[in-house]
Amino acid sequence: MKMIVAYIRHEAFEPIRSELLNLGFPSLSVAEVKGSGRQKGITEKYRGAELTNYLRPKLKVECVVDDGDVQTIVDSILTHARTGAVGDGKVFIVPVEESYRIRTGESGSETLQAHAVEDLPPS
Ligand SMILES: Nc1ncnc2c1ncn2[C@@H]1O[C@H](COP(=O)(O)OP(=O)(O)OP(=O)(O)O)[C@@H](O)[C@H]1O
Ligand SMILES: [Mg+2]
């Protein structure tokens, strides 16, 4: 198992989320974070004073999947998060030792399977 950790622009999230859902990966976590990349800060004038903002708002997306699914997820992120401008973000792949579904006590890969469509509660 691997955790894919992506730092992306907010606008990139919806197309990634909807593609991953369609591909059978509905489970993920998102957090609003601030970060800095390799650029120097962006300097703006505020009431005559120059202020440099080193931190930019980003979304952090975490998604744990089986090793064989990593490339699918990464490809989706790269496709939808790339604008070509600096600040498009980064993707990291982190090894995951174990996983438990709390409700059932299942562990390992079983915890990562999406529901079959017929198992879903009526909407
Ligand atoms: N090495 C890193 N460790 C943790 N977070 C990072 C790292 N690099 C980038 N990030 C996160 O990703 C965000 C976007 O990074 P960014 O796209 O600016 O990277 P970059 O290396 O400067 O590339 P680019 O030249 O395309 O801007 C950062 O604001 C930060 O939240
Ligand atoms: Mg940058």
Q: Residue 88 contacts by C-beta under 8 Å, 6 or more apart in sequence? A: 8, 9, 81, 82
Under DSSP, the state recorded for 5 is: E
Ligand 1 neighbour 9 (Cβ under 6 A): no
pLDDT in tens, the chain (123 residues): 999 999 999 999 999 999 999 999 999 999 999 999 998 777 788 888 888 788 999 999 999 999 999 999 999 999 999 999 999 999 999 999 999 999 999 999 999 988 776 666 776
Q: Which residues surround ligand 2, an ion (CB under 5 A)?
A: 37, 39, 86-87
Q: Walk me through the domains of the chain, giving residue ranges and CATH numbers.
A: 2-113 (3.30.70.120)
Record the tokens describing residue 47, joined without a space.
């009431």
**Ligand in nearest proximity to the CA of 36:** 1
Of ligand 1's listed atoms, the one at least distance from the Cα of 90 is 12
pTM check: above 0.85: yes
